[in-house]
Amino acid sequence: MSFISSDEAIRRLKSPSNLANLLSVQRPGKIETILPSSRPPAAPPVSTEVKALSNVLSKLDGADAAASALGLTPAQVRASSRSKNPEVIKKTSATIERVRDLALDRLMDSLGLLDIDSLRAEPARNISAIAANMSKIVHNLAPSDVAASERRTLVIYAPNQREQKDFSVIDI
């Protein structure tokens, strides 16, 4: 493998037969070189409102769906979910509370609509689909400590108590 000298590189870059010179108009006397970067360009900063919204959407639909809906990268969505900014945390929790309460209200309304008259007028499948979707939203937005405490099971194993009759007596 042979390398070219810097003089040869400059001569080739200035050459009129260079493809870059043929396709674009360069300012005379100035050579612009673009060096390949090892990392992608930095994403623009995200406002606290967008961070809070991405947190809520990622809880509901996942980071990839939230990223595509908001025009962010999945890495930005994951980073905003780990944000320690109190303003982002406050806005996220307030939005989650509002959405969860609204979903719970809709769930209760849809369950309340399952009576004899509405079953005759409306297909039960539609009403039960609404109730199922609202319960998924309520479950997904439930506080993590409540959901975790429902899943925890504590099992304690204790040895059997021995009684005096289980031992043999030895005379000395």
Q: pLDDT above 70 covers what percent of the chain?
A: 74
Spatial separation of the C-alpha atoms in residues 168 and 155, rounded to whole Å: 33
CA angle 72, 63, 106 (to 5 degrees): 110
Can you tell me the mean pLDDT for 72-88? 90
Whether 52 and 88 have beta carbons less than 8 Å apart is answered as yes
Residue 96 structure tokens: 């989650």
Res. 147: pLDDT tops 60: no
Other Cβ atoms within 10 Å of 67 Cβ, number:
19
Site of tokens 């937005």 = 141
Specify the pLDDT at position 29: 58
Can you tell me the mean pLDDT for 22-47? 65
Q: Largest Cα–Cα distance in the chain?
A: 114
Most confident of 32-46, 92-106, 149-163: 92-106
Can you tell me the mean pLDDT for 44-58? 88
Site of tokens 């043999």 = 168
Can you tell me the mean pLDDT for 4-18? 82
Check: pTM over 0.95? Answer yes or no. Answer: no
pLDDT in tens, 94-134: 988 888 888 878 777 776 766 667 656 777 788 788 778 87
Specify the pLDDT at position 88: 92
Whether 55 and 92 have beta carbons less than 8 Å apart is answered as yes
Q: pLDDT above 90 covers what percent of the chain?
A: 8
Whether 76 and 64 have beta carbons less than 8 Å apart is answered as no
